[in-house]
Amino acid sequence: MHTPVPEYLQEVLDGLSGHVDGAVADYIPELAAADPDRFGIALMTTSGRIHAAGDADAEFSIQSVSKPFIYAAAIMDRGLPRVLRSVGVEPSGEAFDELSLEQGSHRPRNPMINAGAITAHQLLVGEGATSAQRTDRARAFLSVLADRELRIDEAVMQSELETADRNLALAHLLRNYGIFSTSAHEAVAGYTAQCSIMVTARDLAVMGACLANDGVQPHTGNRVVPSDVARQTLSVMAAAGMYDAAGTWFSEVGIPAKSGVSGGMLGVLPGQLGIGLFSPRLDEHGNSARGVEAFRRLSSDMNLHLMTAG
């Protein structure tokens, strides 16, 4: 690449500014009010260089992009064998809010779909932890990854809780099968608080760079995720981060990624980069429509596909 990175990133955004396909999520009233034209991107290398363009500092609720990080925290708090007893690692090939569990074990298939993420949140801290402790663990851990104090947006959280029937149904089902014993309302409230943590595209790039850098925060040099946990998290993200589009995504773009309904996207290239993006209009899979296109361009222009030799 010959263009300097910031100009190149601006070019990617400009090239897609006329791309207005998709629609903002409206099942959470507060998200329906988002400015659909926001578009920001940031990259952080594992050596700590950060490049940003567009609305890279606009805040939005992290939503499902929190899922890989909270899965990592659950493994750190409880150990992988305990986490695997409650949440699987197979791609579901289904939508993020699908009401389906593995045959026999009744585990959610993976921690990237809501059923698995609600369960991962319940595993935080330890047996007998309070709801407040789990929520605080989630917020504090994401803050360490982002290297700044993040906050929960109460309006987004309340708005989602008012329309959370589907997640409540999932939590009731999980509780019915003994996957956790917390009340469904408490479990969904904790998970929803986690989803309502406010971040920017720049934060996501920093958080992603931490996973890309084997769990070491590139800014501070502090190890915040053990190496084996970073690997486990990225593996599950590669297999299931883009829900029912995961296979197409990985073959075409080749970057382990996670999307969220507010339009956030996280990409992680091990040993190289964390990528954060924000563009609220979603495609039919619930992934940021322009985000998917921007990642396609980055992957092809910068030769980022993980399955490319050399």
- Find tokens 């910068």 and name the residue: 302
In the complex, least distance from residue 26 CB atom to ligand GLN, rounded to whole angstroms: 12
CA distances to 92, 139, 164, 227, 258 from 196, in Å: 24, 10, 13, 27, 16
Strand, helix or coil for residue 161? helix
For residue 268, report the phi and psi dihedrals to the nearest 5 degrees: -135, 125
177 in catalytic set:
no
Which of 12, 67, 159, 299 is catalytic? The answer is 67
In the complex, least distance from residue 209 CB atom to ligand GLN, rounded to whole angstroms: 21
Among 195, 266, 273, 294, binds ligand GLN (CB under 6 A): 195
Whether 222 has a binding-site annotation, put simply, is no
258 in catalytic set:
no
Does residue 63 belong to the site contacting ligand GLN (CB under 6 A)? yes
Which of 59, 58, 49, 55 shows the shortest CA–CA distance to 5?
49
Does residue 167 belong to the site contacting ligand GLN (CB under 6 A)? yes
In the complex, least distance from residue 16 CB atom to ligand GLN, rounded to whole angstroms: 21
Which of 156, 206, 261, 292 is catalytic? The answer is 261
Number of Cβ atoms within 10 Å of the Cβ of 140: 13
Among 111, 208, 286, 291, binds ligand GLN (CB under 6 A): 286
Does residue 233 belong to the site contacting ligand GLN (CB under 6 A)? no
Looking at residue 113, its amino acid is: I
Which of 132, 14, 28, 122 shows the shortest CA–CA distance to 77?
122
Which of 146, 124, 118 shows the shortest CA–CA distance to 136?
124
Whether 191 has a binding-site annotation, put simply, is yes
Does residue 97 belong to the site contacting ligand GLN (CB under 6 A)? yes
Site of interaction with ligand GLN (CB under 6 A): 63-64, 96-97, 114, 160, 167, 195, 260-261, 286
Catalytically active residues, by annotation:
64, 67, 191, 243, 261
